[in-house]
Amino acid sequence: MKKTIATLVLGALATTASAETYNLTMSSSHPTVLPWVGQLSTLVVAESNNRLEAMGSEDRIEWTEAYGGSLYGFKDTLEAVGDGLTDAGWVGTLWEGSKMPLQNVTYFTPFVSDDLVGTLKIMNELHRDVPALREAWEDENVVFLGASGVETYHLFTNFPVNSLADLQGRKIIAPGPSANWIAHLGAVPVDGALPTYYNQIQTGVADGVVVIITGAFPNKHYEVAPYVTLVGLGAHMTGGLGINKDVWEGLSDDVRQVLTELGQEYTVAHAEEVMARYEAFKAKLPEVGATVTELPEEEIASWADGMPNLAGDWVNANADKGAGEVLDAYMAAVRDAGLKPRIDWSAK
């Protein structure tokens, strides 16, 4: 009996001695009011130690949280995590077109799916299955844990849109890759950013914007662009949760397991929150004076059918990085998930 008790005591001491407390910082350039930031705190940070305890691990994480750009701005998210300014945080791959072009595949494949949860689950799956996607993060000294994104895009304009002809010659804010979504319609793409859209339309710099409702409603774009035309250009990956690679390699297996699982859950949790807000804001638009209509199906079909081969151009520009494999894997996963793309970009 004494030997048994001694063995148990020694085993307990050994377990305690091997327990680690990791001091980690979770950060973002954006505030927690945004779902893809808020869930970093309310899910990943809040649940990590609960999960460790539940699995019987003695390891713990002591978190420091820094959101709202207190450590860095929205154009520096990748460097902030990769260089170790923060240990973990949200990385905006949408602004990393040169360093991480593969992560922006959805922006070069519009009209695929309005299902944000399904789209981001696919992007997580592709990061597991396509080495080039993981390596794009690791080349920047970051480990990818889970995708983030935004719901489908629609039109907010200061004039009614009943057909594609109504867009000809109109100045429409469509920054970055989204400029290619409207150029073939005869519209004039205008650059901008979410905080500038209101003033650009109010001052006549633009006549409208291609935008997400969860961004347009809180910024009251309906006041200067009261005609909301539902189109459904597709949901998109805009970034994801990442952790510094050197930090990651110094964590215990238990902590890595928990953070890996929470990263996947983060994707679904924030996407569901985005979609809940989308539906709520869309329902409130008429209450605040907006005129909400749906672009006729034949006009949407014409828009999609006339789209230039954006994916093909993107693949050609990034062929040496593995863009062709990513595009084929993405479209195959979309079909396998039953999302019924309006355009099959791998066959275009």
pLDDT at 9 exceeding the cut of 90: no
Domain 21-149+236-278 part of CATH 3.40.190.170? yes
pTM, two decimal places: 0.93
For the segment 307-314, the average pLDDT, to the nearest whole number, is 97
pLDDT at 61 exceeding the cut of 80: yes
pLDDT tens for residues 262-303? 999 999 999 999 999 999 999 999 999 999 999 999 999 999
pLDDT at 11 exceeding the cut of 60: no
Cβ neighbors of 280 (< 8 A, separation 6 or more) are: none
% of the chain residues with pLDDT over 90: 93
For the segment 21-46, the average pLDDT, to the nearest whole number, is 97
Domain 153-233 part of CATH 3.40.190.10? yes
CATH 3.40.190.10 domain extents, the chain: 153-233
pLDDT band at 158 (very low <50, low <70, confident <90, very high): very high
CATH 3.40.190.170 domain extents, the chain: 21-149+236-278
Q: What is the pLDDT of residue 8?
A: 40
pLDDT at 160 exceeding the cut of 70: yes
pLDDT, the chain, mean: 94
Cβ neighbors of 98 (< 8 A, separation 6 or more) are: none
pLDDT at 74 exceeding the cut of 50: yes
